[in-house]
Structure 1
């Protein structure tokens, strides 16, 4: 996992902690080891991060920042479902390439972490594209939750399994099970049914300016009731 080059004391400390984390795990990220690797005095770490947990939070945030930048750098696939497949594969690959960092980012993340929420927002936008295409069979929030739960759980399971015992098809099977649960095939008929149509309209509401806020709220509630009826 690459990080931005930052020669400030804070940048050097985060980079040193990340190197120690990736080489030997979180137990190696001690104040003494980080201060030696970063070329700073231990009090500087406490002044900038408060304690070891604060430093680990900063490392996780840096990991999320780099990860989000990589995921949003290229053009999305024209087919939003294929875009989700590619995103899933990239997510699993990142976890297997950087297991200690991944566990810090996802298994040890503090509830409400802004960095974690930013990553979830990237996923929500991908799910929103599927909804706009009329191919989402469940509410967007549920789809995001399913992808996160199964994707993160699958990656953590693979990380915890010795490499020579990993099921090489586990991630693909989990991915396809989730995609089958949340999406429909490309509609062959003009009318794909009420739930995908409602999900598509729900996803397009932010661009609607012909209704008042109260009217938008009422329409949003109706559409949520339709998409939640499955």
Structure 2
């Protein structure tokens, strides 16, 4: 008699949540299919039946990470100040990565050697890109900045990821105040360079709000 198929939506969700939780608790070094199966109270063959192989599981973790990020950023309500909304969107992205550093590393760093990103994986980031493009387009329409919204959105995300890499490594400052200040200075300078020629420079004090979550104390670096 053939073995009963175990591809139930409930088991799939349980395995996926166990995998994300394991990444957060043990990091990349402790991530194995065996441990994920144990954490989900199932078997390794069941995990493979659901996801194909470890690469398939990692791909679904990546998708789950972008789903969670999209949901978090979607809770940011638009106001009549598009520049303030853009600040809040960047702040929300920063807070998510700081709260989920290992998951974010899977999403943006692709650290697994046996995972070969494809078109599907690039599409997973499309929802994030579209959120930034819409917000940037409102700034362009309001005359706050000038340029192609898609180009600017890509630049902002790349810029934010670079700052986050420095921040998570402890190189952006030894205090929360200094890290917040450098985020504000960086994005004020970047967006000031994108202003229409007739625009006045925006005061630095109106920049990004402090991030709402922390990944832990940073090592002593520059203050």
Relative to the length of structure 1, the TM-score reads 0.71
Equivalent residue for 2:170, pick from 161, 185, 195: 161
**How far off is 1:180 after superposition?**
1.4
Does residue 170 of structure 1 match 2:182? yes
**How far off is 1:90 after superposition?**
1.4
Q: Is the 8 A contact 2:145 2:191 kept in 1?
A: no
**How far off is 1:162 after superposition?**
6.7
Equivalent residue for 1:146, pick from 138, 143, 155: 155
Equivalent residue for 1:105, pick from 107, 113, 129: 107
Equivalent residue for 1:132, pick from 141, 160, 173: 141
Number of residues of Structure 1 aligned to a counterpart in Structure 2 = 183
Identify the range of structure 1 (139-148 vs 167-176) with the bigger mean alpha-carbon deviation.
167-176
Q: Is the 8 A contact 1:154 1:171 kept in 2?
A: yes
Equivalent residue for 1:180, pick from 179, 184, 192: 192
Task: Give RMSD over aligned pairs.
Answer: 2.5
In the superposition, relative to structure 1, how do residues 164 and 38 fare at CA in structure 2: closer, same or farther (>3 Å)? farther
Q: Is the 8 A contact 1:14 1:58 kept in 2?
A: yes
Q: Which runs of 5+ in 1 are unaligned?
A: 1-5, 189-230
Counterpart in the other structure of 1:81: 83
In the superposition, relative to structure 1, how do residues 179 and 162 fare at CA in structure 2: closer, same or farther (>3 Å)? closer
Counterpart in the other structure of 2:40: 38
Counterpart in the other structure of 1:96: 98
Q: Rg larger in 1 or in 2? A: 1
DSSP-derived class of the 2:29 partner: helix
**How far off is 1:14 after superposition?**
0.5
Q: Is the 8 A contact 1:32 1:42 kept in 2?
A: yes
Q: Is the 8 A contact 2:129 2:154 kept in 1?
A: no
In the superposition, relative to structure 1, how do residues 61 and 185 fare at CA in structure 2: closer, same or farther (>3 Å)? farther
Higher helix share: 1
Counterpart in the other structure of 2:23: 21
Counterpart in the other structure of 1:120: 129
DSSP-derived class of the 2:60 partner: helix
Q: Which runs of 5+ in 2 are unaligned?
A: 1-7, 112-116, 201-223
